[in-house]
Amino acid sequence: MSDPERLSERLALGVWPGLRRSWSRLYQLLRADRWFPHVPLSLGVGLAGLLQLVPDLRKLLGLTLSVPDLGHLNEGFSTLAIHGIPQFAVGMLLLVMSLGLLWHSRLAWVTTMLVTLAAVAVQLIASGGHYPLETGYNVMLLLALLAGRRYFDRSSLATGTLFALTSVLLTLGYGVFGAYLLGSQFHPAITGADDALYFAVVTMSTVGYGDIVPVTPEARLFVVSLIVLGLVIFATSLSAILGPLMNNRLIALIQPRRSRMERANHYIVVGDTALARNSFKELQNRGQKLTLILPRQMDEGPYQNADIIVGDGSDIEILRKAGAERAKAVLALGDDDSENAFVILAVKEIGEGIRTVAAVSDARNLSRIKRVQPDLLLAPQVLGGELLAMALSGEEINSETLFDQLLHVR
């Protein structure tokens, strides 16, 4: 579900319904949930990183073609070099982070935000009141990263391992490339790729045999940046791998009795309310397979030996993890009517043939929930109010009216 749709539904805005429907159809047609916004943000950060490499690449390859110099676009980041962080190191770091963003890595998002924020701050200080094109690009990139923060929440073991491996390889490439480029500024001079690889590995590991020594300020700054970058990459790589590994181990120790159920031909119950607990109990007593989506981790309580997923029930990835496309029905039984509507909309984005049930607590929301077209509406609170009003006013209790108030079948 897109952010404009979510905001519009939450505020119950009735304006421009045709525009919202068109946006929803376009969103589904383009399969935007699979690539937006992490792919555009990754490309934007990757472009910023590549621009850092333009001057050194041209120097290394001897490019003297009369092409427009793109180096001015990266001044917002390259000004970080004034305190000893070479421009090339910043470019490599941004390239690594762009790959992390592509994998929805939370660590990559935080690191990119910090680097971008530092670049904007340094550029504003050094600009002397002038705000060139690169500052605007950096600010837009920062705002886009901030707006898309909820899409970068992954810290899985597989993602962490891949991110760590890529980070180490790119950092090693930076070390080899820089040592070869500055080879004449070392004693003895680095003249081959094998010497450059040897020096990069020794420096990144902080062994430092001392057989190859930088003799110019530029070479010394490069060595300092390689040591710092190597330590940061190794530390973040270890946290990216060990964090999910320890988390999975703790979950296994805390919940040793819980086993993974085959998620097919089952019911998915979203929410932790009295209605959700009672529905779970009755369906379980009838031998039905159930998967629960709960907003937070909790003691088993009424959910003995249940298949539980902790997360947001309106998140398409969570619903797919719960096997919504193979479920008999998805029951949105939370205590927030708007959240129940979001769950139904998310299910419909996965597939139109999935049956849905939505609970309604407030009678004023009935017409709004009907707009998302669930297959069945439950309104127990409305039924209670109707019964009480009938009893106190002495009206005859009509079973058909009551049933219609409780269940609204599409």
Whether residue 214 has pLDDT greater than 90 = yes
Give pLDDT, residue 267: 94
* pLDDT, position 127: 60
Mean pLDDT for all residues in the chain: 75
At 283, the amino acid letter reads: L
pLDDT score of 201 more than 80? yes
In order of start, what are the domains of the chain with their CATH numbers? 3-252 (no CATH), 267-409 (3.40.50.720)
- The full 3-state SS of the chain, as one line of letters, equals CCHHHHHHHHCCCCCCHHHHHHHHHHHHHCCHHHCCCHHHHHHHHHHHHHHHHHHHHHHHHCCCCCCCCHHHHHHHHHHHHHHCCCHHHHHHHHHHHHHHHHCCEHHHHHHHHHHHHHHHHHHHHHHCCCCCHHHHHHHHHHHHHHHCHHHCCECCHHHHHHHHHHHHHHHHHHHHHHHHHCHHHEECCCCCHHHHHHHHHHHHCCCCCCCCEECCHHHHHHHHHHHHHHHHHHHHHHHHHHHHHHHHHHHHHHCCCCCCCCCCCCEEEECCCHHHHHHHHHHHHCCCCEEEEECCCCCCCCCCCCEEEECCCCCHHHHHHCCHHHCCEEEECCCCHHHHHHHHHHHHHHCCCCEEEEECCCHHHHHHHHCCCCCEEECHHHHHHHHHHHHHHCCCCCHHHHHHHHEEEC
Where residue 60 falls among pLDDT bands split at 50, 70, 90? low
* pLDDT reading at 406 higher than 90: no
pLDDT, average across residues 223-238: 81
Look at residue 230 in the predicted model and tell me its pLDDT: 82
- Give the pairing of strands 290-294 and 267-270: parallel
pLDDT at 202: 92
The candidate with the shortest Cα–Cα distance to 181, out of 6, 53, 304, 359, is 53
Question: Distance between CA 183 and CA 352 in Å, rounded?
Answer: 62
Mean pLDDT across 342-355: 88
pLDDT at 112: 85
User: Residue 387's pLDDT band (boundaries 50, 70, 90)?
Assistant: low
Angle, vertex CA 157, rays to CA 154 and CA 158, nearest 5: 90
The answer on pLDDT for 50 being more than 90 is no
What percent of the chain has pLDDT above 70? Answer: 64
* Predicted TM-score (pTM) of this structure: 0.46
Query: How much is the pLDDT for 185?
Result: 93
